[in-house]
Amino acid sequence: MSALANLLQGLGSGGPDHKYSGNKPPVNQRDGAAGSSARRLTSVCLLMVAAALLALFGADLQVYSVDPWQELSRIGLGLVQPSWDDLPSLLQALAHTIAFALLAVALAAPLGLLLAMVFHWLPVRLLCAAVRSVHELFWGLIFMQLYGLSATTGLLAILVPFTGMFAKVFAEIFEQQQPEPVQTLPPAAGALKRYIYTLIPQSWPALISYSRYRFECALRSSAILGFIGLPTLGFHLETAFKQGHYSEAGALLWVFLLLIASIRWWLRPQLLPLYLLAAIWLLPETIGFSDGGSLWRFISVDILPTALRQGDGGELLDWLQMMFSEQVWPGLVQTLLLTQIAVVLSGVVVLVCYPFASRALAGPVMRWPGRFLLLVLRSTPEMVMAYVLLLLCGPSGLPVVLALGLHNGGLIAFLVANASDAEHKSPLARPDDPKGIKRYAYVETPRRFPAMLAFLFYRWEVILRESAIMGILGVVTLGFYIDSAFEEIRYDRAFLLIAVTALLNILVDTLSRRLRRFAHADSRLAKQSRNTSINCH
């Protein structure tokens, strides 16, 4: 870890000689910053790494001596020899997975676009921040109370948080557009015309590219929703893992991997209407309905603490105090600590993995194994990865941190490798650029670093949400208590805990934006990929 810190510190700045930098005359003060952009990035990185190192002391990362080899060899065998016996139900789960994801994104993207146009209104910003700060799984658990195990629950669980994310990212994409086209419009032209004639066409490629990326995320979310009972791939995956039927689990994982890997071949704009119709047809038959009564009951009774309903202030205080000291505080601390370590670990994974998938560093042929590795890392649901790691290192935060680090690191490494490949034949590349490790250290990594950091900061809040839900596996994060509350049919507790999780998310999101701005990671990312979009939420 500290080696990484040094590497980061070394990136570009060099200046170990304080006397030298001290004598330096005031440098180019374009934005009042120190002369080296690297220095700001470095200080932000150091801060993150230092926080992660501190977190190592507080986090629950105990390693247990376990004897997992029998189980692991069965898992390995299952992956190598997947079983296709139950093909019909596998295909049905696959169809449901795609249908939920497709419909949810098809609805969330336009809704998000509309909200992005009014994103300057504080209430809209707050609403979006609130809905996206709750993980899809928790939305699923909430909607399940209202609509049961149904198509409605599945759709809404993805649709609601995704709309918030689309709104935020689309608004950011608009912000990053060149201002000139807007400036040349007649000032009297209204906001809608401004969007339709300049900002939307200008950012169209970015909007489309982000929506595609989001669809991949939706597939993952849709699959994961099976873990709480919706009829997607996760339903069978969870059962197969729980029961130790690893060859069935293997088949499911392979199918999901192929699905993710093949998106770019089958997701064609002209086929979309057809797909959407098919998706509606493929939705599970059970349509959730609410007679309004259960919705009202949920809002007015279920989620309110008994003491509050009875207007007993003293008891309410007792309840809050009990919740805070026994669940909220310990869960919050573990969630934050594990998140911090996972974010830094993701960074390390990116730095280690991306060269193996980049054309410039691994070569046109050898990058394929690297690409495959990244595909596996980003396609395997974090929960499944954590689950297997739980067998390896015993029950603690360690499997969670490792799973989150590998998954998110793999995802960002994939994006970083893509950015590197996009530059492969551009004017920036020189025929006499160094090769191998020297190229990695002197050319590729410094060029990718700001974007990588921006991706990591974007991903920070996602990692936070994911460490929270990892509690479902039994690690004592906020999700552990939320899951318990749902299991114990104590929705008042669940609601309080989810609200705390959401607040924490909003805080981290704000902090991440501040740090990103401070490091200028944003503007560079925008500069580098104005037309390829920021694909990382």
Partner 1 sequence: MSILRRLQQLPLIAALLLSGLAQADTFVFTAIPDEDESRLQQRFGKVADYLSEQLGVEVRYIPVKSYAAAITAFRNDQVQLAWFGGLSGVQARGLVPGSEALAQGFEDQSFKTYFIANTSAGVEPADTLTDALKGKTFTFGSKGSTSGRLMPEFYLREQFDAAPEKIFSRVGFSGDHSRTIAQVQSGAYQIGAVNYSVWDSELQQGKVDQSKVQVIWTTPTYPDYQWSIRGDVDARYGAGFKEKVRAALLEMNDPALLESFPRQSFVPASNDDYAPIEATAKAIGLLDE
Partner 2 sequence: MSDKLASSEVLFQLTNQSLSYGNHRVLDDISLTIRRGEKVALLGPSGAGKSTLLNLLHQQQSQCSALQPQGGGLVDLLSVYQNIFIGGLDRVGTLAALWNLLRPLAAQRSAISELAQVLGLEDKLWQSVDRLSGGQRQRVAIGRALFRQQSVYLGDEPVSSLDPLQAQALLTHVLNQHETAVISLHNRQLALDNFDRIVVLQEGRLCCDCPPSALSAGQLDSYYQQDSSPVAEQSAPANEGWVIRTS
- Compare residues 67 and 180 and give the one whose CB is closer to partner 1: 67
- Compare residues 179 and 293 and give the one whose CB is closer to partner 1: 293
- Compare residues 433 and 487 and give the one whose CB is closer to partner 2: 433
Which residue, among 430, 68, 62, has the nearest Cα to 244 in the 3D structure?
A: 68
- Compare residues 4 and 276 and give the one whose CB is closer to partner 2: 4
Length of the chain: 537
- Compare residues 156 and 173 and give the one whose CB is closer to partner 1: 156
- Of the residues 12, 15, 148, 205, which one makes contact with partner 1 according to CB under 8 A: 148
- Dihedral (C-alpha) 291, 294, 300, 305: value to the nearest 10 degrees? 180
Contact between 29 and 441 under an 8 Å Cβ cutoff? The reply is no
- Going residue by residue from 427 to 456, which x/- string records binding to partner 2, judged by CB under 8 A? xxxxxxxx-xxx--xxx--xx-xx------
364 lies in the site for partner 2, by CB under 8 A: no
- Of the residues 119, 147, 195, 354, which one makes contact with partner 1 according to CB under 8 A: 147
- Of the residues 487, 511, 514, 531, which one makes contact with partner 1 according to CB under 8 A: 487
DSSP 3-state of 219: helix
Contact between 491 and 145 under an 8 Å Cβ cutoff? The reply is yes
d(CA 387, CA 294): 35
d(CA 65, CA 118): 55
Whole-number minimum distance, CB 361 to partner 2, in Å? 14
d(CA 500, CA 506): 10
* Amino acid identity, position 68: P
Which of partner 1, partner 2, none sits in contact with 450, Cβ below 5 to 8 A by type? partner 2
Which of partner 2, partner 1, none sits in contact with 150, Cβ below 5 to 8 A by type? partner 1
d(CA 411, CA 377): 7
Token pair recorded at residue 307: 């003491």
- In angstroms, the Cα distances linking 1 to 15, 24, 96, 126, 307 are 21, 31, 42, 36, 48
Whole-number minimum distance, CB 444 to partner 2, in Å? 9
Token pair recorded at residue 482: 């939320």
Which of partner 2, partner 1, none sits in contact with 247, Cβ below 5 to 8 A by type? none
Binding to partner 1 (CB under 8 A) within 421-480 occurs at 473-474
d(CA 145, CA 142): 5
107 lies in the site for partner 1, by CB under 8 A: yes
- Of the residues 21, 36, 83, 290, which one makes contact with partner 1 according to CB under 8 A: 290
What sign does the dihedral 425-430-436-438 (CA atoms) show? Answer: negative
d(CA 100, CA 105): 8
Which residue, among 77, 97, 170, has the nearest Cα to 128 in the 3D structure?
A: 170
517 lies in the site for partner 2, by CB under 8 A: no
- Compare residues 345 and 451 and give the one whose CB is closer to partner 2: 451
Which of partner 2, partner 1, none sits in contact with 367, Cβ below 5 to 8 A by type? none
d(CA 254, CA 403): 18
- Going residue by residue from 212 to 231, which x/- string records binding to partner 1, judged by CB under 8 A? ---------------xxx-x
Contact between 232 and 222 under an 8 Å Cβ cutoff? The reply is yes
Residue with tokens 């949920």: 298
Whole-number minimum distance, CB 156 to partner 1, in Å? 9
35 lies in the site for partner 2, by CB under 8 A: yes
Contact between 410 and 349 under an 8 Å Cβ cutoff? The reply is yes
Contact between 139 and 156 under an 8 Å Cβ cutoff? The reply is yes
Question: Quick count: other Cβ atoms within 10 Å of Cβ 46?
Answer: 15
d(CA 313, CA 284): 45
19 lies in the site for partner 2, by CB under 8 A: no
425 lies in the site for partner 2, by CB under 8 A: no
185 lies in the site for partner 2, by CB under 8 A: no
Which of partner 2, partner 1, none sits in contact with 487, Cβ below 5 to 8 A by type? partner 1
- Compare residues 261 and 333 and give the one whose CB is closer to partner 1: 333
Whole-number minimum distance, CB 519 to partner 2, in Å? 11
- Of the residues 2, 22, 28, 32, which one makes contact with partner 2 according to CB under 8 A: 28
Which parts of this chain interact with partner 2 (CB under 8 A)? 6-7, 9-16, 20-21, 24-25, 27-28, 30, 35-38, 41, 427-434, 436-438, 441-443, 446-447, 449-450, 524
Which parts of this chain interact with partner 1 (CB under 8 A)? 62, 64-68, 70-71, 86, 89, 107, 144-152, 155, 227-229, 231, 235-236, 238-240, 242-245, 248, 280-281, 283, 285-292, 294, 306, 390-391, 394-396, 473-474, 483-484, 486-490
